[in-house]
Amino acid sequence: MATDLSVILPRVLIVSRRTVRKNKFVDFVGEYHLDLIVSYGAVPVIVPRVTGVHMLLDSFEPIHGVLLCEGEDIDPSLYEAEASNLSAEELEEIRRLHASDTAIDTEKDTIEMRLAKLCLERNIPYLGICRGSQVLNVACGGTLYQDLGKELTDKLPLNERVVHMDYDNYDGHRHSVTVVDNTPLHQWFKDSVEDENMEILVNSYHHQGVKRLAQRFVPMAFALDGLIEGFYDPDAYNPEEGKFIMGLQFHPERMRKVDSDEFDYPGCPFAYKEFAKAVIAYQKKLNGLTNVTKSLKLNQEMEKKRKIIIRSFSTARNIYEHGRNSSKESELEAGAEFLESNTALSLQQENRLKQMGATVRNSSSYIEKLKLNEKRERVARNVMGKMSVEQLSDLMSFYQMMGQICSEVLERKLHELVNELSSS
């Protein structure tokens, strides 16, 4: 029996971290994350970081949100590690000092990168804490400091240096950050920051961090040494509408008073609260589209006709896109007849389909346009071949943002079209 999506609680995927217990590997996720997700009305679904899981992510559908948190260093080959100019001796010293964090976990990297990119492609709510914020930045073309101590701290005056991790005081360590005005973080902590310095004390535990922030993001907080401690995508932030893309380098879930579950500030749990709100809204939007699709069930004869019409349009589109016309003209007649006789389509919709080359009668003009497009493509490839890696990365980030906007607009228009067809 098929599962009714309307009775599934909002699902948040969280990738586990691996450790060793009694000479065996054990996967785990910190309970603070799980408790907060559950308390705000969603269900955490743990994705084990075992070999091969990155090929099975479709099995975790439906995905209503993704929360990525702690873990080892991200594989430096996934970003511009060569720009760090660290010597072999320095890299070895870093490995000795941060032995528990510098062991690369390729499977976890692969799983989390795929999930991050899936969220960006489908506008699924995403919250990245600590490593999760770094994954998000790298997935969008940003880069990281491979080691803050060597690349940032050692180059600063003593009065500007920040201790970002304390192995002997995991939960109790704090350092100040300056919150950026008119950001979600400021909204959550506005009753706790002072107007003059806009500072709060945060818990952090990391020796890497954002070096170059991906173009689509806006900083929300800075440490004294200039390191970005939080960022978000303002074009993908509206929890009420199911939009939430954010990364926090610090740990709001661990900012609690000594021997107590009371938070340091009232705003500490708000990242999880607003994330869960977006997850719930995203699920409702997804279920709404699914229910519309469900309601349009056709009988066997109508379904057969529908497939013939779709095949006709598909053939016409191939002519439009590739200039090939190996099919018989009769295969295109079903689409042409549908456009001429189906009164369910408005004149505007009919014209739009014809403009897309949906009939054989106007396909030849599109073949000419195709040749022009091929010429433009050659010019574009020549120009981009001369661009730097950073320029190409910024360009890709821009078009990812455009793709996201197109996806949202297309989703709305398809929804409107289905409603129009249903009511006619």
Q: Which of 320, 329, 395 is nearest to 353 (CA)?
A: 320
| 189: Cβ contacts below 8 Å, ≥ 6 apart | 179, 200, 265, 267
Evaluate the CA torsion angle 230, 231, 234, 240 in order and state its sign: negative
Q: Which structure tokens are listed for 239? A: 């929890």
Q: Render 108-155 in DSSP notation, one character per residue.
A: HHHHHHHHHHHHHHHT--EEEETHHHHHHHHHTT-EEES-HHHHTGGG
User: What pairing do the DSSP bridges indicate for beta strands 43-47 and 11-15?
Assistant: parallel
Phi, psi of 202, rounded to the nearest 5 degrees? -125, 160
Residue among 112, 229, 253, 274 flagged as catalytic: 253
Catalytic residue among 64, 229, 251, 274: 251
The string of DSSP codes covering 274-295 is HHHHHHHHHHHHHHHHHHHHHH
To the query of whether residue 251 is one of the catalytic residues in this protein, the response is yes
Active site residue 130: yes
Alpha-carbon 171 to chain mean position? 28
- Decide if 175 is catalytic: no
**Is the CB of residue 11 less than 8 Å from the CB of residue 5?**
no
Strands 11-15 and 143-145: unpaired
69, 119, 130, 268: which is the annotated catalytic residue?
130
Question: Which positions are catalytic?
Answer: 130, 251, 253
